[in-house]
Structure 1
Amino acid sequence: MMNKERNSMVVLATTDLTVGYKSRPIVENINFALSEGELTAVVGINGIGKSTLLRTLGNAQPKLAGSIHIGERQLESYSPLELASKISLVLTEPIASKNMSVLELIALGRQPYTNWIGTLSTGDKTKIREAVLMLQLEKLQYRKCFELSDGQLQRVMIARALAQDTSIILLDEPTTHLDLYHKVHILKLLKSIAHQTRKTILFTSHEIEMAIQLCDTLLLLDGENNPFGQPCELIEQKAFETLFPADVVSFDASTGTFRIEK
C-alpha cells in the first residue's frame, strides 16, 4: 500500500459522472482525478458498472451526465483520431483474428499514426520493439496468437496498447481467467509500466486485495459515494467494510484482506 505524495498533473478526471445505457443509469456520482504515472484500479461488486465506466471513459459509449476531462479538454471535444493518440482501450472482447502473429497484433497499435497505406515508419517500429521488450514477449513475437495461453495473449494485448503510445491506457479485467501467479505478474508489469513510462493506467478488477497492495489509487464503486483515493486512505475511511454483507465476508483493516465468516 502506497502513501506517496501524488503528482499534481491531472491527466484524466470526472465530475459528477453518470454512466449507463440510454436513459438507464447504472452508477452515478463518480468523481476522481488521475495523475500521470499512476496505476489505478476500479473495483466493486459484480454488476456495479465497472466495465460500463471504462467503456464510457474510452468513448466506446456515451455518458449520461457529468463531465470527463482528458487534460484540459472535455472528452467530447476530441476527434476520433485525436482521441486515439490520447487513450488506448483494451476490452474483454475476443480479438478479430487469432491467426495474426504476436508482432502483427502489436503493430495494430500504430494505426493512428501510419500513413494511408499503413506503412510502418522507423519510429513506429521502435515503439513496437519497446512494447515487445517491456512485456517480455521477445520469444513469442513470431508465434500465432492462437498458440498462446490466456496469460501470454493478455500480455500481447497490453503490448498493443503500449505501442499505441498514449498517455492513458484503459484495461477491462486484464487478469480474468488467469491463475494467481499470472494475475500478480500482469499487475506488477502494469505498475512498472506506469511508473517507468509515466503513463496513466486504469483497469477494472475483481481482485480487490491485489489492487490494495499494488495500486497507487483506487476507485471503489459502491453505488453511493464511490470513494476514490490511495488504498491506505480508503482503509482509514472504512470504505471496504460495507462492500459485502458482514455476515458473509468481513474486511480486516490491519492486513488489507477479506475474511470469510464461518
Structure 2
Amino acid sequence: MNNEAIHISLKVSKLNVGYSHKKRQNSIVEGIGFSLLKGELAAIVGVNGIGKSTLLRTLGRVQEKLSGNIWLNGKPLESFNARDLAAKISVVLTDPIASKNLTVLELVALGRQPYTNWIGTLTTDDVSKIKSAISMVGLEDLQHKKCYELSDGQLQKVMIARALAQDTSIILLDEPTTHLDLYHKVHILKLLKHIAHSTHKTILYTSHEIEMAIQLCDKMLLLDNKQNAFGEPCELIKKKSFESLFPTDTITFDPKTGSFKVNK
C-alpha cells in the first residue's frame, strides 16, 4: 500500500446516485469517481438540479446509492452500523433546525449524541469537545444565546461547531454559504479550510460559488453528468473542465483569472 493510500479518507468508484421507487430507479448522476485525503477541503459544484445534494446525501448514507462503491477509511460504507457511522461522518444539511429555542451551547452539544449513554449524560471528554468546537469557530460570546436570535451566518457557524463536536474524520455540508452575503460566504469557507488543514479532517461541501471554490479548495468535483471531472482547481483549469459547465453563448470561463464572464 503506497503512502497516499494510507491517507485516503473517502473514495468513490463508479457511483450512480438517484432515487428508487418500487422496482424502478431514477438515476440522476452516473459514473462518479474520486478520492479525498485527510485534511483536504473539497467542493462539489455544478448547475442547479445536476445532483450535488443527492450525491452528498448518498455519501453520508442519508439515502441509498443506486450502484457503485463508497469506501470510508478503506472500508465499504455499508459495512458501518448507524452508530459507528455517526462517529465517522457528520452531515450538515439545509434542513431547518428542529428547535431554534435551543441555546448555541445546547445545539452544539447535540453533536455528542453518538457517544453519550441513553439518557444523554455528558462526560468530561464530551464537555471538552463541545468547548473546543465553540472556540474553534469563535462562538464563545454567543454560546448562551438562543438560536432564533442569531443571523444566518452565525447559525451556520453553530451548525459547523455541532459537526466539529461530533468529532468525525469527515464532515459533509450541503450549501453552507446559502443566504449569506459575500463577506460571510468567504468567512465560512476560509473557516472550513482552516479546520480541514489544522485538524486533518476531510471536509466536502456542495456549492454554487464556483469561483470561490477555485480560490479556496484543495480539490473540486465538477458534476456535469458527462466527465464529472475531479482534481485540483489548477488541474481542472488546464484541462478546460470549467468551460463546459455553462452554455458558451451565454457564459464563458476565463482561465487567466479563474472567473466566469457574461457574454453581452
Which category describes the TM-score, using the shorter chain as reference length? over 0.9
**Residues 28-77 of structure 1 deviation map (CA, whole Å, 9 limit, x = unaligned):** 01000000000000000000000000000000000001010001210001
Equivalents in 2 of 1:242, 1:87: separation in Å?
A: 32
- Residue 158 of structure 1 and its aligned partner are, at CA, apart by 0.4
How do 1:174-253 residues align onto structure 2 when only pairs under 5 Å count?
Answer: 174-253=176-255
Secondary structure of the corresponding residue to residue 31 of structure 1: strand
Paired amino acid for 2:141: K
How do 1:75-90 residues align onto structure 2 when only pairs under 5 Å count?
Answer: 75-90=77-92
Secondary structure of the corresponding residue to residue 105 of structure 2: helix
- Residue 7 of structure 1 and its aligned partner are, at CA, apart by 8.4
- Residue 115 of structure 1 and its aligned partner are, at CA, apart by 1.3
Given the alignment, which residue of 14, 17, 29 partners 1:16? 14
Give the unaligned 5+ runs of structure 1: 1-5
RMSD: 0.9
Equivalents in 2 of 1:68, 1:246: separation in Å?
A: 34
Secondary structure of the corresponding residue to residue 242 of structure 2: coil
Given the alignment, which residue of 155, 158, 164 partners 2:157? 155
Give the unaligned 5+ runs of structure 2: none
**Residues 122-142 of structure 1 deviation map (CA, whole Å, 9 limit, x = unaligned):** 000000001001110011000
Q: How many pairs align?
A: 257
Flag as ranges the 4+ runs of structure 1 deviating above 4 A.
none
**Residues 138-193 of structure 1 deviation map (CA, whole Å, 9 limit, x = unaligned):** 11000000000000000000000000000000000000000000000000000000
CA contact (8 A) 1:7 1:36 kept: no
Paired amino acid for 1:65: S
Paired amino acid for 2:140: E
Paired amino acid for 2:60: G
Percent sequence identity over aligned pairs: 67
TM-score w.r.t. the length of structure 2 is 0.96
Equivalents in 2 of 1:72, 1:57: separation in Å?
A: 14
Paired amino acid for 1:250: T
- Residue 11 of structure 1 and its aligned partner are, at CA, apart by 0.3
Equivalents in 2 of 1:43, 1:116: separation in Å?
A: 39
